[in-house]
Amino acid sequence: MDFSRFPPRNLHLPIINAPMAGAAGGALASAVSRAGGLGLVGVGHGASPEYIERELSIVADNGNGAWGAGLMSWSLDRDSTALSKVLEYQPPVVAFAAGDPTNHARTANEAGSAVVVQVGTSTEVMAAAADRHIAAIVVRGSEAGGHGLNEVSTFTLLQFALRNSSKPVIAAGGIGSPQGVAAALGAGASAVWIGTRLIPTAESLASSDHKRRILRASAEDTVYTSVFDIALGTPWPHEYGGRTLVNEVTAEYAGTAKEAALRTASEQGSPEANELSSRVKAARASGDGSASPLYAGQAAGLVANDSPAPDSDFPPAADVLAELGGFRECLANAARLWAV
């Protein structure tokens, strides 16, 4: 692997936790880093300076030196304070997603961080390949959890990037098993980027209801929608929706004429839009997943399909990484069967 300045020193496993706002704070990132992977803290839109200080201090002090933070380009276009704050901690890696990363990648790279960028189309792959401030390309397929484009699957975009860029390529979206890790690495990815599979872990900041619902979900139980952004008034650019588990709100709105009409209804302050907004905000505040966003991808169907008791513990992230480490056996089997 010719990463030049990426990966940082101390990366022993080709596994990176996705910088998930609301799930990947310092505890999850440092657990992944200590287990030999690269731990990233999610810095979402509106993250406070106190959140950034607290969570980055945890991973900078308790990880294994392989750590970083992930931010949203569209949000930094509006206010770049979060990036300045993150760079005060001199993270070895800074990740950007959603929007034009050009200016932010230059800023982070000139401050000394290795920059990785999530892309969702072949056009974005080519732009990242040509940008000298970007060290590695994260191809994020439409099966991934959380916000992103809903255009191309992970495996197709991975092959395109490997054929059209000499930079390290990291595969994201739908990977949640040793077989998936092996598939990406066998194709030529330098590492995998895992979100959903790491949400139901002890260190994740997600609500217990969110974690339990992922354990119960199958691969068909997700939907791509903007209904929660509209209801919560989060100013995501309109081309970005989010992949979430189905619940009462998605059943009523996602992909329907009601969802199409909701943005205008919300701008006009219609009673129905206001009522939905109050309902989603209240559910989110109380950790009730029946009406709040439960961002997760199709890999939810790869997490053990059991229903833990409400007060049972979730496994440490290190256990998940140990399980994913089974990729070595998958690759060895393939080599034994097919290598010439």
Task: Using CB under 6 A, list all residues that contact ligand FMN.
Answer: 18-23, 42, 44, 70, 72, 97, 118, 140, 144-146, 148, 172-175, 193-196, 295-297, 299
Give the nearest distance from C-beta 330 to ligand FMN in angstroms. 18
Which structure tokens are listed for 30?
Answer: 């440092």
CB closer to ligand FMN out of 26 and 42? 42
User: In this complex, which beta carbon is closest to ligand FMN, that of residue 98 or of residue 273?
Assistant: 98
| Nearer residue to ligand FMN within complex by CB, 126 or 219 | 219
* DSSP E strand stretches across 77-232: 93-97, 114-119, 136-140, 146-148, 169-172, 191-194, 222-225
Taking CB atoms, the residue at the shortest distance from ligand FMN is 195
Of the chain, the end-to-end C-alpha distance in Å amounts to: 22
Nearer to ligand FMN, 20 or 157 (CB): 20
Cα dihedral: 185, 190, 196, 202 (round 10): 110
3-state SS assignment for residue 325: coil
To the nearest whole angstrom, how small is the minimum distance from the Cβ of residue 82 to ligand FMN?
Answer: 11
Closer to ligand FMN by CB, 155 or 273: give it: 155
CB of 166 to ligand FMN, least distance (A): 23
Q: Minimal distance in Å, beta carbon 181 to ligand FMN?
A: 11
Closest contact distance (angstroms) between CB of 174 and ligand FMN is: 5
Beta bridge pairs of residue 8: none
Q: How far is the CB of 81 from ligand FMN (least distance, A)?
A: 16
Query: Measured from the CB atom, is 72 or 135 closer to ligand FMN?
Result: 72
Return the closest-CA partner of residue 117 out of 73, 156, 163. 73
- Distance in Å, CB of 172 to ligand FMN, minimum: 4
For the bound state, the minimum distance from the C-beta of residue 20 to ligand FMN, rounded and expressed in Å, comes to 3
Q: Which is nearer to ligand FMN, 219 or 265 (CB)?
A: 219
As measured in angstroms, the least distance from the Cβ of 271 to ligand FMN is 30
CA-based max dimension of the chain: 67
CB-wise, 140 or 212, nearer to ligand FMN? 140
3-state secondary structure of 175: coil
Residue (158 or 194) nearer to ligand FMN, CB = 194
